[in-house]
Amino acid sequence: MSLDQVQPPVGPATTATRIPRKRMSLWSLYTRRFVRNKPAVAGIVIFILLVLFSVVAPLIAKYDHVELDFLNLSSPPSAEHWFGTTSAGNDTFAQVAIGLQRSLMIAVSVSVGTTILSAIVGTAAAYFGGMIERGILLVIHFLMVIPTFLILALISNDAGGDWRVISLILILTGWFFPARVIWTMALPLRESEYVNAARYMGVPGMKIVMRHLIPNIGSLLVINFALGVVTAVMAETGLSFLGFGVKIPDVSLGSLIGYGANTITSAPWLFYFPAGALTLLTVSMALVADGLRDALDPTSAAGGQA
């Protein structure tokens, strides 16, 4: 009996496993699942275009956003003023570009801030448990009772429309709801083996939180960030619309819409363009968040196989 008879027959089933198939990296898996979601791809394209618009438009605009053209007061869109002008002679094209830039800057910094803060507080509450957990939850529930919109209006009214102050207040009043969500997500991790192992090896608590808990809910944080951008844009534009947020000479999409609301019948283009930009921004970011959830969430079946 020769040796090759003993060896198992080489069939098609075994060759498949023998071909050195490279393990798909996590990133390419995520990208593949994200790209499969057409609305999400459309969302990210629109979002990138909006960012490009807010950066490039002020460079190519014929007028500055504070410059007044006294020959064109309240004129509809034309070759000279692409988005028309306000009753004072401001070029709406330049204003929308700057306003979008400002709204984006506030939204992204607020979302980064709330995500970091809520991640640390939420996971710390879940990890430490006991008194610390109960204390943090009590503070969160208490903050939910205080009408934050009122606090926001009070402080930003006092701040005189500085966008950095507005961002800071939005962070301070926006972290506790996501923190509560993250707390529930991080609870099961408290009992996981790797956390226990780290604890028995004497790693200090805060280090476990930063090194093991937060990276393990990373996908949730990414989704939270995308949704946070939408929430922050909504809050900022609402405040600015009411006159509590960004103030002249600075402009944001909310203050522009507030201005357009007063002339909605006589000069509707003052409303159309900022409102269009705002809607594109929030809807595109929401689509991206949906796509991220499908791509990153391991329990989600919406992404299909692999």
Q: CA–CA separation, 35 vs 25, rounded Å?
A: 16
Residue placing its CB nearer to other proteins in the complex, 74 or 157: 157
- Greatest pairwise CA separation for the chain in angstroms: 103
* Cβ proximity to other proteins, 209 vs 235, nearer residue: 235
Task: Report the residue number, 54 or 103, with the smaller CB distance to other proteins.
Answer: 103
Give me the least distance between CB of 205 and other proteins, in Å please. Answer: 29
Q: How far is the CB of 276 from other proteins (least distance, A)?
A: 9
Closest contact distance (angstroms) between CB of 67 and other proteins is 27
Nearer to other proteins, 89 or 238 (CB): 238
Query: Which residues contact other proteins by CB under 8 A?
Result: 39, 141-142, 144-147, 149-151, 153-155, 157-158, 230, 233-234, 237-238, 241-242, 244, 254, 257-258, 260-261, 264-265, 268, 271, 275, 278-279, 282-283, 285-287, 290
Q: Which is nearer to other proteins, 123 or 284 (CB)?
A: 284
* Cβ 244 to other proteins shortest distance, Å: 8
CB of 283 to other proteins, least distance (A): 5
